[in-house]
Amino acid sequence: MSRPLLYGHRGAAGVAPENSYVSFATAIADGASALELDVHRTKDGEVVVFHDDDGRRMAHVEARIADVDFKDLAGWDLGHGFVGDAAFVGRGVSPPLLRDVLRGFPGVPINIDLKDLDPRLREATIALITAEGAVDRVVIASFHDDVIDAVHASGSAVRTSLGKRSVQILRFAPLWLVKRLLRRHIKRGGTRVQVPPQAGGIRLDSAAFIARCHAVGFAVDYWVINDVDQARELLARGADGLITDYPARLSSLFAKPLAG
């Protein structure tokens, strides 16, 4: 049994500007064993690490990612979007390229959430992961099943998480039907189910749901888990990974030997 992963959510988003290089470095220093991040494609075709589709919240810039070149995006100050602490303003904390994050954290598992439905983002991200030799340590995620299906159809060996529709099938369908409907995911191996503990009033955090995921070969990661007691309970139920804004807060739970 492999050790559960502790993902830094957008790095260590609770203590540094999200999706920044400093946030990722902080997460690793604080005990994270994996990173979770989001990507968009700039006007000039670069894959940049950023959550929103515009700069209003994080940089106080009224511009969409898709409408600016990376050279302009590199001047955005993410310190403006770090709530409750102005210490990062003016320190040059800007959106990084995905390429630089992959190179800067060699060997670290990385979960990449495609935030845009534009097929050019998917294609550029897959090409970059492949070129950087990161296929074995990257998982591509998206809420949209069509995006995940397109990753599969591309012939790439990059692993994926499940889209929203597939999670619903996994949660509610009889197990024999799950195996039939999700056979493409199952055949690829290494697919991860990444969900909140609850969605729309439906619990996804039970030991039974985790066991069902394991029965068809899927690992289960939960987001966003910032409470230590909740984290401890999810790990006890068999969770394979927790995604948190505060890796330092949960790191001691992952340092303990696994039972059995």
User: Is residue 33 situated within a structural domain?
Assistant: yes
User: Is residue 219 situated within a structural domain?
Assistant: yes
User: Is residue 166 situated within a structural domain?
Assistant: yes
Whether pLDDT at 122 is above 90 = yes
pTM of the model: 0.95
Instruction: Give the CATH number of the domain where residue 54 resides.
Output: 3.20.20.190
List the one residue out of 83, 78, 18, 57 whose CA is nearest residue 224. Answer: 18
Answer positive or negative: Cα dihedral of 102, 43, 67, 149: negative
Range(s) of the domain holding residue 240:
5-250
What pLDDT, on a 0 to 100 scale, did the predictor assign at position 2?
Answer: 77
What digits encode the pLDDT tens for the residues 210-227? 999 999 999 999 999 999
User: Is residue 259 situated within a structural domain?
Assistant: no
Annotate 176-215 with b (16+ C-beta within 10 A) or e (fewer): eebeeebeebeeeeebbbbbebeeeeeebbeeebbebbee
User: Is residue 256 situated within a structural domain?
Assistant: no
Least confident residue range of 83-97, 120-134, 236-250: 83-97
Segment holding 140, helix H or strand E: strand 138-141
Report the alpha-carbon distance of residue 68 to residue 42 in Å, rounded: 6
Report the alpha-carbon distance of residue 127 to residue 133 in Å, rounded: 10
Residues 6 or more apart from 244 whose CB is under 8 A from it? 6, 7, 8, 9, 14, 224, 225, 226, 231, 250
Report the alpha-carbon distance of residue 114 to residue 117 in Å, rounded: 8
What pLDDT, on a 0 to 100 scale, did the predictor assign at position 198?
Answer: 95
Report the alpha-carbon distance of residue 93 to residue 105 in Å, rounded: 17
Structural domain tally of the chain?
Answer: 1
Amino acid (one-letter) located at 55: G
With H, G, I as helix, E, B as strand and everything else as coil, classify residue 76: coil
**pLDDT bucket at 259, cuts 50 / 70 / 90:** very low
Answer positive or negative: Cα dihedral of 96, 97, 101, 104: negative
List the one residue out of 3, 4, 5, 12 whose CA is nearest residue 244. Answer: 12
- Block residue for tokens 């630089």: 100
- Block residue for tokens 């990173």: 35
What pLDDT, on a 0 to 100 scale, did the predictor assign at position 260?
Answer: 41
Residue 202, strand partner residues? 199
- Give the CA radius of gyration of the chain: 18
CB 107 within 8 A of CB 85: no
**pLDDT bucket at 256, cuts 50 / 70 / 90:** low
User: Is residue 255 situated within a structural domain?
Assistant: no
User: Is residue 257 situated within a structural domain?
Assistant: no
